[in-house]
Structure formats: structure tokens, C-alpha cells
Amino acid sequence: MSDSSQPGLDSRRRDFLVKLAQGAALAGTGGLLWDYILRNEARAAPYALRPPGALDEDDFNAACIKCGQCVVDCPPLILKLQPAGGNLPIGMPYFEPRTGPCIMCPDIPCMKACPTGALSPSLKKIEDARMGLAVIDIENCLSWKGLRCEICHRECPVKGKAITLETHPRQISKHAMFVPLVHSDSCTGCGICEKACPTTIAAIRVLPHKLVQGKIGEHYRLGWTFDTEVTQDFKSPEVAPADGSEAAVPKTAPGVDYLNEGGL
């Protein structure tokens, strides 16, 4: 009796287990493929210039719902949604400064149109936007060739801060050059300079920070700059004065003058 019923039960159980394994395999391979496609698509993101207030790349990729309301509300209509098959992640807003730079509307309508917060409402002033960073190709910049071009400097909406003109010496007996220099602490990445650049292919271009900006190690102490922060390692131990008055050494002291304080 048990012999005849046992195989039936076993084969049913076997069928079930095989089906379970097949289902799991299908879900696993399909899921891996899907996941690969997503990550591959998202990998193109560092090349995209996003509207002002956009979150960091990974967060923006996740939070953007691809609705295009920023595109609709952009007054100069420079924003585009990437259609399928392009070289940027699908469906998300971007702009190309050479053909359509951001005109830096003071009320930031694109950000206000964003329903999800992918364009973060924490951006209060358009001057604080960091869409990208202008980079100058000094081999093809007219100013660096010695011409008085300076168009980028004059067109820059953050005048005198994002792009400054510096004198650059040439060989003896020639005039100094006036060359543009971009400052990342003020450049919003609007791309008006790139649009205005008169060379055939723009010699000043806006790129995402990630692709162009370096970073020095945190252990460097630039003693000759005024805003260098004094870290705890270099601070004098805080000794509370006996009479309870203010500490003798102000907390903002740029460094420790231990040689003059009789430590030796």
C-alpha cells in the first residue's frame, strides 16, 4: 500500500519542487537582466546637465518621475526630456548649453514645477544653483591666443565672480594677455558662456562637476589663506581660566602660536 502511494506523492512533490526551481530561475535571470539594463541606462547620467536644484546624480535618477513639468514651465524652453534610445538616461530633463543655456530665472519656475522634489526646493536663489562647471580649453580660447575676446566674461550672469579676467604675461616685448578664469564657488553652470563663445566649437564648456573637478586631501593646511579651518589636531587644548572669564585665546585663531606662548 505504502509502496504504491509513495511514488505518487514523491513525483508530485518532485514536480512542485521542479516548478519552484524553474520559477525561481526565470525570476532570477529575468531580474538580473532587468537590473543590468537599468544600471546600464543610469550609467550615462554623469554626462547630463540637469535643471537647477537637481539632486545628486543617484538621488536624481531615483526621484525624477519623468513627467516633464519642468520642461513645460521653462520660459526659454531649453529643457528637453531624453527620449528612448538617446545617450542619456531615459525620460529625464537635461539641457545643452551650446544651443540652449539656462537663463537663470530668479523665481526658478522649473524647480517649482517639480512635483517630486527631484529638483530640490531647498534651492532658494538661482545663484546658488550648481548645474555644472564651465571649463576653458586654453589651447583654443581666443583670449589665450592673445586676442581681446573676453565674451564669456562679459556675458556671464554672475558677473565678475564666476568668470574673472586675469593678466597673463607673454614673452618680453609683447603685451600681457587678458585671460578668463572660472571660479567654481560662483559658477552656476548655466552655460551662457558656452552659448556665447565665438569659436567654431566652444572653447568654454559646461560639464558636470564630477567629470572635471578635483579635490585636495583634507590633511593639507594652506596656512597663507585666511579661511583655512583649524582642525582639532592643531588647536590648543582649551583651558578654562580660573576666574571664569573668556578664554585668552580666541577660538577663531588661525593656528597655534605655541612658540610665542612660552611652551618651550
**Residue 19 Cβ vs another protein, minimum distance, rounded to whole Å:** 12
Residue 80 sits in the site that holds another protein (CB under 8 A): yes
Separation between Cα atoms, residue 35 and residue 30, nearest integer Å = 9
**Residue 230 Cβ vs another protein, minimum distance, rounded to whole Å:** 37
Question: Applying CB under 8 A, which of residues 44, 69, 98, 155 lies at the interface with another protein?
Answer: 69
Sign of the Cα torsion 127, 210, 49, 133 reads positive
Separation between Cα atoms, residue 235 and residue 232, nearest integer Å = 5
Closer CB to another protein, 41 or 127, in the complex: 41
Residue 151 sits in the site that holds another protein (CB under 8 A): no
Pick from 72, 74, 77: nearest CA to 100: 77
Closer CB to another protein, 6 or 29, in the complex: 29
User: Are 131 and 50 contacting, i.e. CB atoms less than 8 angstroms apart?
Assistant: yes
Question: Applying CB under 8 A, which of residues 1, 84, 216, 248 lies at the interface with another protein?
Answer: 84
Residue 57 sits in the site that holds another protein (CB under 8 A): no
Element (H, E) at 20: helix 2-42
Number of residues binding to another protein, judged by CB under 8 A:
39
Question: Applying CB under 8 A, which of residues 44, 47, 57, 81 lies at the interface with another protein?
Answer: 81
Burial category of 216 from C-beta neighbours within 10 Å (exposed 0-12, middle 13-18, buried 19 and up)? exposed
Sign of the Cα torsion 238, 240, 246, 247 reads negative
User: Are 57 and 210 contacting, i.e. CB atoms less than 8 angstroms apart?
Assistant: yes
Site string for another protein, 3-32 (x = CB under 8 A): ------------------------x--xx-
Closer CB to another protein, 80 or 195, in the complex: 80
**Residue 2 Cβ vs another protein, minimum distance, rounded to whole Å:** 35
Pick from 150, 52, 172, 28: nearest CA to 108: 52
Residue 182 sits in the site that holds another protein (CB under 8 A): no
User: Are 122 and 74 contacting, i.e. CB atoms less than 8 angstroms apart?
Assistant: no
Residue 58 sits in the site that holds another protein (CB under 8 A): yes
For another protein, the binding residues (CB under 8 A) are 27, 30-31, 34-35, 37-39, 41-42, 58-59, 61-63, 65-69, 71-73, 80-86, 89-91, 113-117, 121
